[in-house]
Amino acid sequence: MEQLEKKILTFKVFRFNAETDYLPHYDEFKMEVSQSEVVLDILNRIKWEHDGSLSYRRSCRHGICGSCAIKVNNKPVLSCKERVFDLVEIFGTELVLDPQDKKRAYKDFVINKENFWKKYDSVIPYMIANINENPESENIVSPKEAEELDEADYCIQCGNCFYACPVVEVNEEYFGPAAFVKAFRFTADKRDESKKERLEIVDKIGQGVWDCVKCFECAEACPKELNPITKITKLHNQIFDEGIAESNVAVRHAVGFKHSIEKHGILDEGELVRYSEGNIGVLKHVPEAIAMFKKGKIVLPWNMPKSKNLDEVKKLIDSSSTTKF
């Protein structure tokens, strides 16, 4: 039989017990690891062969229960799916194993996921439909209608996207990518009867989709490759399509690009800020505008450059626009 390749690796393992420890620390383990092993194998070997007190969540071992999510060198992984050698390729032979959120660690890798579930509950994570309890025929969903969900129903609630999202870290109100995927899972489902109510929830500034920074961390973090940010974009589109969008700074910011492109081809940066903030709101930007002006960073309206062949752009905007506000 062919020998599996083996490597000697160092694992720095996060340790913390909220009941007894004041600060966390790292235990170091040097281990021989074979090509076939996944991160969960390493956690198991440490627990079974070195320190039985190591705590972590695990269950199905098949990438479907979502309980064994952790971070390795800050990369969110599902322990049971992530091959150790793939991580060595990215980070080298020293791997740092951390819980999804160190601040929420209860014992080692077991974190308090209450914030995740609270946000998840906020988007009404179940279908609202008046179901006939004595149906005479099946309630058929066509393959095309099912495709509309864009696999959002495959989410396993592992929390990887949520704990990778930088906005979640700095804004306690923000729902985060997993909750948005869940909201979309129902707003895209033709059987659900609460589309508008759901969209109103995710439209609110502070908690909703407008606070997404578009960093794509969620797209990288999702072990099911669900690309949460594409669902966030689709929620934005639904908010406009359903007439939910109210005139606020975020909405005007998205719409303002179209106005600017129509007029100049390239963006009129100053006008975009004025249009988004309104004539009064824009005043708070005056100090930085002055600082920028002094450094030649502001183009005055009469010097605003325009794209060549602007008539083409205007024509395309006329013929290709699909949304109104």
Partner 1 sequence: MSKLRYALYTGCTARESTPELLKSTLAVAEALDIELVLLDEATCCGASHLQDFDDFLSLVLNARNICYAEKMELPLVTICNTCQLNTSMTKERLDHDENLKAQVNEKLKEVGLEYKGTSEVKHFLYALIDDVGIDEIAKRVTKPLKNINMAAFYGCHNIRPSELQSQNNGGENPYNPTSIDDLILALGGQNVEYEHKNKCCGFHVELQAPNTANKLSASALTDAIDNNADAVVTPCPLCHLRLDVQQHNISKAAGREVHIPIFHLPQMIGLALGIEPEKLGINHHVTETDLV
**Which chain residues interact with partner 1 by CB under 8 A?**
73-75, 90-91, 166-167, 170-171, 205-206, 210-217, 219-220, 227, 229, 233, 236-237, 240, 248-250, 253-255, 257-258, 260-261, 265-267, 269, 273, 276-277, 288, 291-292, 295-299, 305, 307-309, 312-313, 315-317, 319-323, 325
- Of 239, 264, 267, nearest to 251 by C-alpha is 239
Nearer to partner 1, 110 or 205 (CB): 205
**Residue 217 identity:** E
CB of 166 or CB of 243, closer to partner 1: 166
Which two tokens mark 281?
A: 């709101």
Do 4 and 35 contact (CB within 8 A), yes or no? yes
Least Å from the CB of residue 187 to partner 1:
15
Q: Shortest distance, CB of residue 225 to partner 1, whole angstroms?
A: 8
Side chain identity at 99, as an amino acid letter?
A: P
Residue 128: helix, strand or coil by DSSP? coil
CA 38 to chain centre: 25
CA 50 – CA 41 distance, rounded (Å): 13
- Are the C-beta atoms of 83 and 92 separated by less than 8 Å? no
When the beta carbons of 2 and 89 are compared against partner 1, the nearer one is 89
Choose between 54 and 181: whose C-beta lies nearer to partner 1: 181
Q: Are 204 and 214 in contact (CB under 8 A)?
A: no
Q: Is the distance from CB of 84 to CB of 70 less than 8 angstroms? A: no
Q: Which of residues 20 and 320 has its CB atom nearest to partner 1 in the complex?
A: 320
Taking the complex as a whole, the smallest distance from the CB of residue 20 to partner 1 amounts, in Å, to 28
Residue 286 Cβ vs partner 1, minimum distance, rounded to whole Å? 13
Decide whether 18 or 166 has the Cβ nearer to partner 1. 166
Rounded to a whole number of angstroms, the minimum distance from the CB of residue 317 to partner 1 is: 7
Q: Cβ of residue 266: shortest distance to partner 1, in angstroms? A: 5
Among 91, 86, 100, residue whose Cα is nearest residue 73: 91
Helix (H, G, I), strand (E, B) or coil at 84: helix
